[in-house]
């Protein structure tokens, strides 16, 4: 085999590796990997002692998180809860209203990227949980195939020393 053949073979091998999903993702910036829509796969709250606590009241939580290229994000996580007996969202009983408040986490705002430290930060503007209004949350993402994973260190609902663990799956592009 001469030099030209080896050079051509090397180019073909490099092209083949570039087509592998893991290789392509490894070459992207965090921002390029984040941009798009994500659905919730799992969310766990783990206390400092290792025990788990339900993150929301209700069953079967569903979530959608969207990162736009202009630095904006939106996140909603909502569990299944019983319908209001009155069929009027403004006329719920105290119990119905409590279930709504404890069965939803919705927040939107901006985000920033620190490529050097491989982190991103949520800049929460408004949240369904008012204690998150105008706060920041730094996360270290891990991308595994079409999944985004990160930890919310010190998640308040997990108690002292607890954390929240999120797994999201990329929503395929319609284009």
> How confident is the model over 72-110, as pLDDT tens digits?
999 999 999 999 999 999 999 999 999 999 999 999 999
Task: Classify residue 7 as exposed, middle or buried by CB count within 10 Å of its CB (0-12, 13-18, 19+).
Answer: exposed
Q: Give the end-to-end CA distance of the chain in Å, rounded to a whole number.
A: 43
| 65: in domain | yes
Q: Is the pLDDT of residue 146 over 60?
A: yes
Specify the DSSP element, H or E, that contains 37.
Answer: strand 36-46
Q: Which residue has the higher pLDDT, 92 or 8?
A: 92
User: For residue 124, with 0-12 CB atoms within 10 Å meaning exposed, 13-18 middle and 19 or more buried, which class applies?
Assistant: buried
Is 63 a residue whose pLDDT tops 90?
yes
What domain range is 52 assigned to?
Answer: 29-170
Task: Give the per-residue pLDDT at 156.
Answer: 87
CB atoms within 10 A of CB 14: 10
Cα-based distances in Å from 152 to 6, 122, 134, 163: 48, 11, 17, 6
Q: Is residue 35 part of a domain?
A: yes
Tell me how far apart the alpha carbons of residues 142 and 100 are, in angstroms, rounded to a whole number. Answer: 31
Report whether pLDDT(21) > 60.
no
- By C-alpha distance, which of 172, 165, 174, 173 is closest to 41? 165
CATH classification at residue 71: 2.40.128.280
Average confidence (pLDDT) over 31-45? 97
pTM: 0.81
Specify if 14 maps to a domain.
Answer: no
- Domain membership of residue 71 (yes or no) is yes
102, part of any domain:
yes
Q: Give a yes or no: residue 86 inside a domain.
A: yes
Task: Quote the percentage of the chain above a pLDDT of 70.
Answer: 84
> Judging by DSSP bridges, how do beta strands 147-153 and 163-170 pair with one another?
antiparallel
Give the span between the Cα atoms of 44 and 163, in whole angstroms: 8
Amino acid 85: pLDDT: 96
**Dihedrals phi, psi of 131, to nearest 5 degrees:** -65, -15
Within a domain: residue 15? no
Q: Give CA–CA dist 165/56, Å, rounded.
A: 14
The domain total for the chain is 1
User: Cβ distance 103 to 79 under 8 Å?
Assistant: yes
């Amino acid at each position: 085999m001469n030099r030209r053949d080896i050079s051509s073979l090397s180019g073909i091998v490099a092209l083949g590796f570039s087509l592998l999903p893991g290789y392509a993702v490894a070459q992207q910036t965090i921002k390029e990997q984040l941009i798009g829509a994500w659905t919730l796969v799992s969310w766990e709250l783990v206390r400092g002692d290792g025990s788990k606590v339900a993150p929301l009241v209700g069953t079967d939580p569903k979530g959608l998180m969207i990162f736009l290229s202009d630095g904006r994000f939106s996140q909603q996580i909502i569990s299944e809860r019983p319908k209001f007996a009155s069929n009027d969202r403004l006329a719920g009983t105290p119990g119905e209203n409590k279930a709504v408040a404890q069965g939803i986490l919705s927040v939107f705002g901006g985000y920033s990227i620190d490529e050097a430290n491989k982190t991103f930060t949520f800049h929460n503007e408004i949240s369904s949980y008012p204690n998150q209004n105008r706060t920041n949350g730094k996360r270290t993402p891990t991308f595994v195939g079409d999944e985004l994973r990160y930890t919310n260190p010190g998640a308040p609902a997990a108690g002292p020393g607890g954390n929240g663990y999120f797994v999201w799956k990329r929503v395929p592009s319609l284009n």
